[in-house]
Amino acid sequence: MRRVAAVATSALAVLALSAPLAQAAPPEETLRSEAPRDLKIGSAVWGQNELLDYDRKNPTEFQRILAAEFNSVTPENDMKWAEIHPEPGVYDFSGADAVVAFAEANNMEVRGHTLLWHSQNPQWVVDASATWTCEEARAVLEEHITTVVSRYAGQIYEWDVANEIFQDDWDTGGVRLRTEANPFLKACAEDPVALIGDAFRWADAADPEALLFLNDYNAEGINNKTDAYYALVQELLADGVPIDGFGAQGHLSLMYGFDESIQENFERFAALGLKVAITEADVRMPLGEDGEPTAEQIALQAERYDAMLVACLNVPACTSFTVWGFDDGHSWVPGVFPEGYATIMTEEFEKKPAYYALLESLTDATPGKSPRTAPGLNR
């Protein structure tokens, strides 16, 4: 009897040993596992839609991939005025809180987005702004920035303080501050730069740790708009404004060419002492009647994503690379353009060549192999 018992015990011991061995298979490589330590890899997510019911023991497929692939997350809409401040004096932090809680549960960081923008303002702002004096507009903006930034102080590493504050070449009047479309800049049109500077000061007072960014689209390469930003940054810095970074959103389309001057553009902002970032990358394209991209488009998309990442990797001041949603099921593109296939995974979370291109460049840039290894860079 004893002997039988001994055999049974050793069989159990073998089982007990083999279980952890089976689990010890090397973890799958992901974007976040391969990223250099001084570069955050992020995705936008709509907390209100995807994270409210987060149960870390039982994540949805979407949540599992988000946490596995990324170490930074940007609330796609939850921190915008219309969501977080729907009525005067009324704040709804539910979506934003869900994003921050998800990030903390998964050892991710949060990019705040955004505090001063001409779009997605609630109706009460639109209505009130019709008669605002600059003083009134300043008071409303200061109260909002102080409330939102203080709530998440210490939990947000980068804030897009001012978003899309310049018009484009093709807008009436060309590249200039949006003193018509942006209700706050409109009320303070006599000195919009003073208001922008104060927006950064209010954010800095509420969270001195966060890096404070300007952010815009069509701002990847050197062009009229980024020239205007370059001049504005110098003006703000000369005024002692606590501005830390310049973000290029990176919304590209294969309908247009690709501006190769992105690295050079990043370098000139870095030379002013700023951090830079790709904040909202996606690469959309017109699709055939079957709704599918061609093999050529798929390959070109991978090249464009990779070119943005490589520019960021090559400039040590580039702190974060964020995609604006990681799968086509959560992309803003189809609702707005007759284009699609803009993200790095299909609706079924199948990884596209663009995903693998990013993974490969991150792997190549692992500390020890890339220009990002300059002493002191890797936190």
| CB-based contact 245:275 (threshold 8 Å) | yes
Question: CA-to-CA distance for 60 and 192, rounded, in angstroms?
Answer: 45
Cβ within 8 Å of residue 240, ≥6 positions away: none
Least distance (Å) between residue 219 CB and ligand 9MR: 11
Cβ within 8 Å of residue 243, ≥6 positions away: 161, 200, 212, 213, 214, 233, 236, 237, 274
Least distance (Å) between residue 256 CB and ligand 9MR: 16
Least distance (Å) between residue 119 CB and ligand 9MR: 5
Binds ligand 9MR by CB under 6 A, chosen from 97, 207, 280, 306: 280
Q: Counting contacts by CB under 6 A, is residue 167 touching ligand 9MR? A: no
Which residue of the chain is nearest ligand 9MR when measured via CB?
Answer: 332
Question: CA-to-CA distance for 154 and 58, rounded, in angstroms?
Answer: 28
Q: Counting contacts by CB under 6 A, is residue 123 touching ligand 9MR? A: no
Q: Counting contacts by CB under 6 A, is residue 76 touching ligand 9MR? A: yes
Least distance (Å) between residue 10 CB and ligand 9MR: 59
Binds ligand 9MR by CB under 6 A, chosen from 120, 224, 234, 346: 120
User: What mask, x for binding ligand 9MR by CB under 6 A, covers residues 127 to 166?
Assistant: ------------------------------------x---
Q: Nearest CA to 73 among 53, 93, 98, 54?
A: 98
In sign, the C-alpha dihedral spanning 297, 303, 307, 310 is positive
User: What mask, x for binding ligand 9MR by CB under 6 A, covers residues 282 to 321?
Assistant: ----------------------------------------
Q: Is 246 helix (H, G, I), strand (E, B) or coil?
A: strand
Pick the closer one to ligand 9MR by CB: 106 or 163. 163
Q: Counting contacts by CB under 6 A, is residue 224 touching ligand 9MR? A: no
164 is catalytic: yes
Least distance (Å) between residue 58 CB and ligand 9MR: 26
Q: Counting contacts by CB under 6 A, is residue 322 touching ligand 9MR? A: no
Q: Counting contacts by CB under 6 A, is residue 332 touching ligand 9MR? A: yes
Binds ligand 9MR by CB under 6 A, chosen from 48, 63, 71, 77: 77
Q: Counting contacts by CB under 6 A, is residue 327 touching ligand 9MR? A: no
199: number of Cβ within 10 Å: 24
Least distance (Å) between residue 36 CB and ligand 9MR: 26
220 is catalytic: no
The total number of residues written for the chain in this structure: 379
| CB-based contact 243:316 (threshold 8 Å) | no
Instruction: Give the E-state strand segments of 52-179 in sequence order.
Output: 72-75, 109-116, 156-163
- Provide the residue type at 327 as one letter: D
Rg (CA), the chain: 23
- Applying CB under 6 A, what is the total number of residues that bind ligand 9MR? 9
In sign, the C-alpha dihedral spanning 361, 367, 373, 378 is positive
Of residues 164, 220, 264, 292, which has the active-site annotation? Answer: 164
